[in-house]
Each structure stands twice: as C-alpha cells, then as structure tokens.
C-alpha cells in the first residue's frame, strides 16, 4: 500500500494520545503508521510561536505546504514529441533542455528528460541508445609501442600561435582519421578549436597522398578557412610539408599517443561514432552521407558554446572576420 498524507482526524488522534502521555511508538501503533511519520509530523507542523502541536495549525501548515509543492511534470504528447525529436538526433538531455530554454520554447529540466528516457527504456523504448552517457561502453586500454616512422621538421604544440592555444581565434583546426571495419576506407575529420565546426571527408585509403589531396581540394574550393592544423603522428600525415607549402598553413603535432592534446578532435570522433559505430564498414559510405552527419553535428548545441551550435558560432566568426577585413 502506498504512502498517503495524514488526515485531520489522524492529527486529532495524535494530540489526544500525546496528551495521555503515550510514546511515539504507541501513537504510531494506534494509527497504523510508522514511528518516523509521527515524529516527522510533530516536528514539521508544530506551532512556530511556542513549538506546541495543535490540530488546526498542523492541518493548516500541511495544506499550505501541499499548495506550494511544485506540480510534477506531465509527459504529455506534445512534450514527448518535442523531446523525442531531439534525442533521436543524438542530442544529450542537457543539450535538449538548455537549447529549448535558450529559444524560449519549453522549460524542461535536464533531470526531467533523463527520467523520461529511463521511463521510455523501461517500457521497451530505445531512446536511451541515442544518448552517449547511457549507451557508452567502456573498453580496456592496452599498452602499445610506437612503431611508426619518424619524420623530421615537425612543429610541437608549444609553438602554436596564441589564437590556437587559447581558442580565441577561429581557423585553427585539429585533424585525425577514423578507420572503418575493412581497415582501408576511412574518414578524415577536421574540427575548429574555437567554434567546434566540423568537416568530415571520406577517403578511399588511409594514405598521406589521399589526405593531402582532400585537404588541398577543400581549402582551394573555399570550404575550409584554415590557419593552422594540429595532427597526431599517424603515417597518413607524414606529407604535411606539402600542405604547408601549397596552402600556406602551419602544421603542428601532438606527442605520440597523447590523444588528450587533441581533445577537441577526439571528442568529435566520439560524436561521429554515434552515427558510425565501431565495426562499421566504410566501403559503401558516401560523401553525401558524411555531409549529413557533419550537418547534424554542426547543428547540435554545445555547452562550451553557451548552447549555441557550431554552425552559428562559425557563421558569427566569419561575419566578424569579413567585417574587420
């Protein structure tokens, strides 16, 4: 049997039995209530003036408290449809909550959305699979030995310009590759350090000439406005000198196996894996499909951007840059 509030009659009986000198345990037994319920009632609803417990005052305090109590959120059809729409686009509950608030459309707490996702999961729904926090699987790490070739002339991160280091300026990108199941086809992922604006390029092979060809094509076509590029030490980036010479950019490298030094790109790759899980073969993946994933990511609000989207932040930077030029 579920808990229900004390009635006015029960409060009258509490006063009556208390005046007879009975203990809390005895009063609880008479009312078929727990001792903690009686104890809490006497503490919460005693008169504020003299601390004595009176039926009328206790009933008045209890009713006032219930009126002040926040009404529980109702998961009505419109509410569910709006939240479900964004969760299916792989937005986190916090992103959904804060973006709707920012747009002045709905005021829904993050915890409320998590509760809805949990209820949906209990009913057999699959919305929880779209949230990274609830669907993430932890993998055991293994010690690896760096057997990749060394290339002279690499610039360390410590030499990056201030605009790249402190994220005060757009156009400073981090880059990496994401491999498909077949070990051949891969993605080249590029993310702007300041705005988190992302570009995803399908490559037929994880080779330096394929990386360079794709990057040079994108920059020359005006689809990428790049000042610097930070990479890891994979062999697919050993042709960086050509990029510096042909594009007029500076390329920097993180230390081997220090992925946290390119944290923005690593996090973005994790977001991409929401759409292309590990063990996905990229052989039949098209650039159009990559563009669609890219659009989804660039339209997703980010906490670090005050719940603006990367597209909004990138557009603002471009407007500012054009206005100052």
The residue extents of the domains of the chain are 8-68, 77-135, 155-324
Prediction pTM value = 0.65
> Which range, 36-50, 107-121, 228-242, has the best average confidence (pLDDT)?
228-242
CB 188 within 8 A of CB 217: no
Does the structure show a pLDDT above 80 at 319? no
Does the structure show a pLDDT above 70 at 133? no
The three-class DSSP label of residue 300 is: coil
* pLDDT over 70, % of the chain: 86
Distance CA 299, CA 171 (A): 18
Q: Residue with structure tokens 């030490």?
A: 233
Confidence of residue 55 (pLDDT cuts 50, 70, 90): confident
For residue 266, give Cα distances in angstroms to 60, 164, 196: 58, 17, 12
Looking at residue 72, its pLDDT comes to 53
CB 174 within 8 A of CB 230: yes
Distance CA 98, CA 219 (A): 34
Looking at residue 307, its pLDDT comes to 92
Q: What is the DSSP-derived secondary structure letter of residue 6? A: P
CB 186 within 8 A of CB 214: no
> What CATH architecture is 155-324?
2-Layer Sandwich (3.30)
CB 17 within 8 A of CB 27: yes
Out of 136-145, 210-219, 222-231, 285-294, pick the least confident: 136-145
Q: Is 150 exposed, middle or buried (0-12, 13-18, 19+ CB in 10 A)?
A: exposed
């Amino acid at each position: 049997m579920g808990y229900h509030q004390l009635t006015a009659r029960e409060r009258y009986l509490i006063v009556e039995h208390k005046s007879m000198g009975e203990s809390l345990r005895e009063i609880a037994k008479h009312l078929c209530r727990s001792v903690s319920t009686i104890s809490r009632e006497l503490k919460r609803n005693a008169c504020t003036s003299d601390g004595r417990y009176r039926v009328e005052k206790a009933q008045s305090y209890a009713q006032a408290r219930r009126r002040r109590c926040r009404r529980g959120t109702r998961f009505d059809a419109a509410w569910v449809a709006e939240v479900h729409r964004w969760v299916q686009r792989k937005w986190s509950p916090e992103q959904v909550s804060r973006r709707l608030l920012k747009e002045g459309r709905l005021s829904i707490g993050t915890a409320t959305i998590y509760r809805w996702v949990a209820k949906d999961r209990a009913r057999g729904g699959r919305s929880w699979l779209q949230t990274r926090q609830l669907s993430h699987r932890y993998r055991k790490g293994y010690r690896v030995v760096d057997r990749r070739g060394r290339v002279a002339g690499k610039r360390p991160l410590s030499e990056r310009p201030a605009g790249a280091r402190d994220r005060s300026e757009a156009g400073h990108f981090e880059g990496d590759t994401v491999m498909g199941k077949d070990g051949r086809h891969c993605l080249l992922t590029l993310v702007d350090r300041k705005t988190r604006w992302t570009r995803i390029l399908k490559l037929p092979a994880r080779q330096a000439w394929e990386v360079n060809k794709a990057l040079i094509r994108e920059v020359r076509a005006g689809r990428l406005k790049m000042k610097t590029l930070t990479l890891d030490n994979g062999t697919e980036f050993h042709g960086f000198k050509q990029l510096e010479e042909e594009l007029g950019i500076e390329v920097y490298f993180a230390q081997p196996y220090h992925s946290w030094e390119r944290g923005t790109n690593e996090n973005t790759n994790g977001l991409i894996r929401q759409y292309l899980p590990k063990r996905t073969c990229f052989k039949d993946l098209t650039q159009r499909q990559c563009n669609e994933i890219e659009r989804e990511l660039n339209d997703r609000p980010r906490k670090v951007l005050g719940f603006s989207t990367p597209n909004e932040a990138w557009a603002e930077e471009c407007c500012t840059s054009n206005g100052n030029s």
